[in-house]
């Protein structure tokens, strides 16, 4: 490819199990605790029960980044879109793919009449925190706590 040619960048919702599997190579970098079968089963359940959407950013038909998100309603946020997962392939970072996907979610939210998008990010993901605050103008408004119940 010479410099005058541009790469074909497309964002699309992944609808089929085959498409979800194609995204696992990237999603697995974020959700390391899941094998491919667990991941597919959870995507299926989330889509059926929670209106979960899985979108991929592709360059020349190769997935470079993925985002999982869903509409929600809580007393704290009212109606909003929750970003469940956002990851760019480790070898493809700092190319604007995460920003493009998050902007896609913002537009999707507006399209369903929602004016708030929220997410959480692991404490160890310092680079992601800088991205959300500095590049995407998100505010850190809370901590998320979790407890395993046995």
Convert the pLDDT of each residue in 16-46 to its tens digit. 999 999 999 999 999 999 999 999 999 999 9
Amino acid 5: pLDDT: 45
Compute the distance between CA of residue 52 and CA of residue 48 in angstroms, rounded to an integer.
8
Q: Please, which residues have CB within 8 angstroms of residue 19's CB and are 6 or more apart in sequence?
A: 56
In a domain, 144, yes or no: no
Q: Residue 36: give the domain boundaries.
A: 9-135
Q: What are the tokens at 40?
A: 């597919």
Residue carrying the six token digits 């309603």: 73
CB of 102 closer than 8 Å to CB of 86: yes
Total tally of structural domains belonging to the chain: 1
In a domain, 146, yes or no: no
- CATH of residue 95's domain is 3.40.630.30
In a domain, 37, yes or no: yes
- pTM equals 0.90
In a domain, 4, yes or no: no
Compute the distance between CA of residue 117 and CA of residue 68 in angstroms, rounded to an integer.
12
Compute the distance between CA of residue 131 and CA of residue 135 in angstroms, rounded to an integer.
5
Amino acid 123: pLDDT: 86
What kind and span of H or E run contains 109? helix 97-111
Question: Residue-wise pLDDT tens for the chain (150 aa)?
Answer: 334 445 789 999 999 999 999 999 999 999 999 999 999 999 999 999 999 999 999 999 999 999 999 999 999 999 999 999 999 999 999 999 999 999 999 999 999 999 999 999 988 898 899 999 999 999 999 888 989 999
In a domain, 2, yes or no: no
In a domain, 36, yes or no: yes
């Amino acid at each position: 490819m010479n410099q005058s040619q541009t790469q074909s960048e497309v964002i699309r919702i992944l609808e089929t199990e085959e498409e979800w599997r194609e995204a696992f190579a990237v999603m697995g970098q974020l959700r390391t605790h899941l094998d491919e079968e667990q991941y597919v089963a959870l995507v299926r359940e989330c889509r059926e029960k929670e209106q979960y959407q899985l979108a991929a950013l592709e360059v020349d038909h190769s997935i470079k980044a993925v985002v999982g998100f869903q509409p929600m309603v809580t007393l704290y946020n009212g109606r909003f879109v929750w970003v469940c997962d956002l990851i760019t392939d480790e070898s493809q970072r700092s190319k604007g793919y995460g920003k493009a996907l998050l902007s896609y979610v913002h537009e999707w939210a507006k399209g369903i009449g929602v004016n708030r998008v929220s997410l959480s990010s692991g404490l160890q993901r310092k680079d992601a925190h800088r991205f959300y605050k500095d590049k995407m103008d998100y505010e850190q408004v809370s901590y998320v706590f979790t407890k395993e119940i046995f």
